[in-house]
Structure 1
Amino acid sequence: MTAQVSAADLVAMLQDSRARTLELVAGLDRAQRMGPQHDIVNPLLWEIGHLAWFHEQFILRGPDGHPPLMDGADALYDSARVPHATRWSIPLPALPETLAYMARVHAALIRRLADREPTPEEADLYQLVIFHEDMHDEAFTYTRQTLGYPAPAFAASASARPAGTGPWPGDVAVGGGTWRLGAEPGGGFVFDNEKWAHPVSVAPFRIARAPVTNAEFAAFVADGGYREAAYWDAEGARWRDGCGAEHPIYWTRRGTRDWTVRRFDRDAPLAPDQPVVHVSWHEANAYCRWAGRRLPTEAEWEAAAAGAPARDGTLDTAKRPYPWGEAAPTPERANLDGGHLGCVDVAAYPAGDSAWGCRQMLGNVWEWTASPFLPFPGFAPDAYKEYSEPAFGTRKVLRGGAWATRARMVDTAYRNFFGPDRRDVFAGFRTVAL
């Protein structure tokens, strides 16, 4: 991400993000927009109103002291004040009123930038609300998957490039050394949990060239991996037994050997060379034990994605914002932005390889790491105080982005974080040799 972001850039991102939100709500009836009460997902009708409230709160009402554009919005849409379980029972406005509120806020944010350029502080706040909407759009996408709704129709899918096919087995060797984990100052907007880069020691390691595939994970299932106690730690075994997991959540046995997988509202044959997706950290960890491997630490993952070999084969101290270098993601380099409406084979996107030879370290699936989500040294919360701090110590770090992640907000320093029990998100993993 560049250090200078113009008003025109911010307006374009605002418009693009909102267009994606509307694509994700389109085609759903009133009942689907609310959905059943659920421990994980939100009512979509509540969530789109929350987006407008968040934009208004952090830009119009925060710096500007603007009066609310909807009476009672705080009592409806403030996620820190409205308990999750109550979001189905509070008196939410109907869709037309909610969309009108969103449009008023959206227009006001654009008017603020008319005929002038933003200050750096304003540009950061605008990017915060845009990326917040991008995150929710990804959540809307996996909500449609969780609830079995039809696949969304993204305009971006019309321009998706052929992606290539096949597996991509084997490891690459990554040299050891001192690595500066996290975001470096001066590179543009970053989230508070990425601040700031600090030295960590990384021993040489071997990491898979690609994420674990469906075929590889199916071998673990077939070998009784979900039943074998040796592969599950105590917390993982409690999770497995509590939810009755015997295979990835959307898989269904077809005949005696083959599997189908539900994608949104339709079943399809399991694609053997696509990455396994919708697996929890516990499932990923159990697979690693079965395979005689392990998950990479967060520092190892970042070194493999953003680092490059020095002349002596150790880790160079220079960091790349993207695995391939400085240039922003394109449809030739990564499966991002929803273009394919799903995963592609792990051999796809050779133009996106890292300097060490790892493929798809951005896009396709988020990748679980072994690391707990913790603050970096000197952490201080930014304007969105509830974003990172409440989650420290309770989540695991994921890196790299998924097919539904927006390219503008993800790079090799971006940290995602979810509880180890979550398997609704677009998460897979790659492994490291012991």
Structure 2
Amino acid sequence: MKDLNELTHDRLRDHVAEELDRTRRRSAQLTDAVDDDELVRQHSPLMSPLVWDLAHVGSQEELWLVRDVGGAEAVRPDIDHLYDAFQHPRAERPQLPLLGPSEARDYIGTVRNKVFDLLERTPLEGRELVEHAFAFGMIVQHEQQHDETMLATHQLRDGPPALEAPPPRRAEDLPAEEVFVPGGPFTMGTSTEPWALDNERPAHEVHVDAFHLDAAPVTNGAYQRFIAEGGYEQPQWWSEAGWAYRNKADLRAPRFWFRDGGRWLRRRFGHVEQVPADEPVVHVSFHEAEAYAAWTGKRLPTEAEWEKAARYDPASGRSRRYPWGDADPEPEHANLGQRHLQPAPAGAYPAGEAPCGARQLIGDVWEWTASDFLPYPGFAAFPYREYSEVFFGSDHKVLRGGSFGTDRAACRGSFRNWDFPIRRQIFAGFRCARTALEG
């Protein structure tokens, strides 16, 4: 994002309007790509029908911007319960009396028109929710997060391709397979990023011992060696919970992979293709990532290790917004925003390299870390407990860095994602770490 702290209120309003419009164009692309039957169908019990996600982003926009920020009359109070994610699990949503595709589009359009009207007259100060247009930024990020969820639903749907995008850029040689990150303190989290969400706050000092980190995410080719050498059949590499899940789900390879004679193929957004050896592996669970790391004699990085590698600049002693600095992500920095429908080969985006020498810490694949999703010291829920606080604990593992389907508005060096360790439909991969002795 731009440095919102420096924008005048008029410039900030223009920026918010641009982000709302840009985000809605993506939502439209994802839902206009298929017919109404596809929109109302549940393509997996893990996911909502696409039409639910579409109306849900409008419902949240109405609740927070039209009603709370704007103090205006409710548009559709009768549907609040239908689009409350905590009232209805995803598997049950197709049975609800949801808005149909045309109704959903009309609804979110009505809400958006009201939001543009109130944006012109809302003071962007005097209340924490509107300071630096936070509530508007929260809604942009929320919709972009659901756009990534809808992209994952597209990956799960059967049938011919509905989305197309050019391939990502080619890789450049990595100077080394792993990089060294020296021990010492660094500033984790943020207290200054205006649109940062509550779980990223506050900034606090954390000491991290010296460690080595893979210079790029683990590739499909490397992961195939793990499979070929019996990694899925050898319990010594797996945690007790991981091995139990491997057996229960009969895991044998990343999701969407299948064998064709001596080749591994994959299904990717309706295309069937040979698994590219040089791309980061994607659609693996935390348990699979952890087992692979153990098989290599390494481990997954902690969340603090990941963030130090991604943000810490030893020359200045400060934490950057992104690995490459404080500037907003550009196409040369990272594979973000659904510009491509797959990860870029390992070693791509040297312009996005972190000071430690690691690449692709932002974009391409979400990266599993070893850490449970827990609050930072001094955490305060804002503006509602259900965004982060109710998920804290050992049930969820932290993922970092964003994927090719993550938008730049919903991704930064301090951004935290989380999910159950069994999840495989998300665009998740990993890289490995190992503890080092300095000197």
- State if a TM-score over 0.5 links the two structures: yes
Q: Is the 8 A contact 1:55 1:129 kept in 2?
A: yes
Give the match's secondary structure for 1:193: helix
Residues 256-286 of structure 1 show CA distances to partners (whole Å, capped at 9, x for unaligned) of 2x21111021211111000000000000000
Give the match's secondary structure for 1:337: coil
In the other structure, the counterpart of 2:267 is: 262
Cα distance, 1:115 vs structure 2:
6.3
Q: Is the 8 A contact 2:144 2:409 kept in 1?
A: no
**1:306 maps to 2:311:** yes
C-alpha spacing 1:280/1:226, structure 2 compared with 1 (3 Å):
same
C-alpha spacing 1:212/1:83, structure 2 compared with 1 (3 Å):
closer
In the other structure, the counterpart of 1:345 is: 345
Return the match for 2:195 from 189, 196, 204: 189
Q: Is the 8 A contact 1:44 1:140 kept in 2?
A: yes
Q: Tell me which moved more, 383-392 or 279-288.
A: 383-392
Give the match's secondary structure for 1:395: strand
Residues 40-85 of structure 1 show CA distances to partners (whole Å, capped at 9, x for unaligned) of 2111111111110000001111233322212511132122333433
C-alpha spacing 1:97/1:247, structure 2 compared with 1 (3 Å):
same
Return the match for 2:186 from 143, 156, 179: 179
**1:240 maps to 2:224:** no
Q: Is the 8 A contact 1:175 1:309 kept in 2?
A: no
Instruction: Trace 1:3-152 onto structure 2 (pairs within 5 A).
Output: 3-4=4-5, 6-36=12-42, 38-114=44-120, 118-119=124-125, 121-122=129-130, 123-148=133-158, 150-151=160-161
Cα distance, 1:32 vs structure 2:
1.7
Cα distance, 1:150 vs structure 2:
4.9
Residues 124-147 of structure 1 show CA distances to partners (whole Å, capped at 9, x for unaligned) of 000001100000000000111122
Residues 207-253 of structure 1 show CA distances to partners (whole Å, capped at 9, x for unaligned) of 11000000000000000000001011110011111111011111111
Q: Is the 8 A contact 1:168 1:347 kept in 2?
A: no
In the other structure, the counterpart of 1:399 is: 400
Give the match's secondary structure for 1:433: strand
Equivalent AA in structure 1 for residue 306 of structure 2: W
Equivalent AA in structure 2 for residue 32 of structure 1: E
Equivalent AA in structure 1 for residue 146 of structure 2: H
Give the match's secondary structure for 1:67: coil
Distance 1:165 1:43 in 2: 39
**1:287 maps to 2:295:** no
Taking only the aligned residue pairs, the percentage that are identical comes to: 37
In the other structure, the counterpart of 1:313 is: none
Q: Is the 8 A contact 1:364 1:403 kept in 2?
A: yes
Q: Is the 8 A contact 1:17 1:130 kept in 2?
A: yes
Cα distance, 1:429 vs structure 2:
0.4
Residues 3-23 of structure 1 show CA distances to partners (whole Å, capped at 9, x for unaligned) of 335101001110111110010
Distance 1:74 1:401 in 2: 30
Cα distance, 1:181 vs structure 2:
1.7
Q: Is the 8 A contact 1:166 1:273 kept in 2?
A: no
Distance 1:352 1:49 in 2: 35
Q: Is the 8 A contact 1:37 1:88 kept in 2?
A: no
TM value normalised by structure 2: 0.92
In the other structure, the counterpart of 2:204 is: 198
Distance 1:278 1:166 in 2: 25
Q: Is the 8 A contact 1:214 1:276 kept in 2?
A: yes
Query: How many residues are treated as equivalent by the alignment?
Result: 424
C-alpha spacing 1:334/1:403, structure 2 compared with 1 (3 Å):
same
Residues 148-177 of structure 1 show CA distances to partners (whole Å, capped at 9, x for unaligned) of 3555547xx57x874436777511111110
Q: Tell me which moved more, 211-220 or 74-83.
A: 74-83
Distance 1:182 1:11 in 2: 27
In the other structure, the counterpart of 1:421 is: 422
Runs of 5+ consecutive residues of structure 2 not aligned to the other structure = none
Return the match for 2:227 from 217, 221, 225: 221
Distance 1:60 1:241 in 2: 48
Cα distance, 1:28 vs structure 2:
1.6
Q: Is the 8 A contact 2:40 2:100 kept in 1?
A: no
Distance 1:348 1:83 in 2: 38
Q: Is the 8 A contact 1:214 1:270 kept in 2?
A: yes
Give the match's secondary structure for 2:253: coil
Q: Is the 8 A contact 2:169 2:344 kept in 1?
A: no
Give the match's secondary structure for 1:412: coil
Q: Is the 8 A contact 2:311 2:322 kept in 1?
A: yes
In the other structure, the counterpart of 2:434 is: 433
Q: Is the 8 A contact 1:334 1:360 kept in 2?
A: yes
TM value normalised by structure 1: 0.93
In the other structure, the counterpart of 1:324 is: 324
In the other structure, the counterpart of 1:164 is: 171
Residues 354-399 of structure 1 show CA distances to partners (whole Å, capped at 9, x for unaligned) of 0010000101111111111001112121113211111111211111
Distance 1:85 1:347 in 2: 39
Cα distance, 1:118 vs structure 2:
3.0
Q: Is the 8 A contact 2:33 2:163 kept in 1?
A: no
